[in-house]
Structure 1
Amino acid sequence: LLKNRNAHVNLIPLNPTPGSKWTASRPEDEAEFVRVLESYKVAVTVRDTRGREIDGACGQLAASEIISEV
């Protein structure tokens, strides 16, 4: 899809939220995805997930507020 295109992929790991059916990828799966992108000469940056350990990362605070209101 991106081979030979001037593109940069920002890989943002999923922050787990209460009640979500989605989970974050395993670190080894994330690393393999990065390896595949780089093998096609696609620039990729893996973003940091600050605040995850205290449920303060993007999406986590809002999700916990919604659940507490229900």
Structure 2
Amino acid sequence: MNVIPLNPTPGSKWDASPKPVEREFVRRVNEGGVACTVRDTRGQEIAAACGQLAAEG
């Protein structure tokens, strides 16, 4: 499983989980026998995530 932290975008009520929460989630998934890693975030400078772009203006 690939975990991708949320990129914060202006006006969104959602935010990425704190790093300790992220690590605990990955630990529990791995402990359950599923390979799980956290992927690097990319696209924050253009408000992109999971193939989506945020509208500006």
TM-score range, shorter chain: 0.7 to 0.9
User: Residue 19 of structure 1 corresponds to which residue in structure 2?
Assistant: 11
Number of matched pairs: 55
Per-residue CA deviation, residues 2-37 of structure 1 (Å, 9 max, x unaligned), is xxxxxxx11010000110000100000000000000
Note the residue ranges of structure 1 that are not aligned, 5 or more in a row.
1-8
TM-score scaled to structure 2, two decimals?
A: 0.79
- Flag the structure with larger Rg: 1
Write the letter of the residue equivalent to 1:56: I
Measure, in 1, the Cα distance between the counterparts of 2:34 and 2:10.
Answer: 33
| Misfit runs of 4+, over 2 Å | 55-59
TM-score scaled to structure 1, two decimals?
A: 0.66
Write the letter of the residue equivalent to 1:58: A
* Residue from 5, 20, 34 that aligns with 2:26: 34
Question: Percent same amino acid among aligned pairs?
Answer: 55
Write the letter of the residue equivalent to 1:13: P
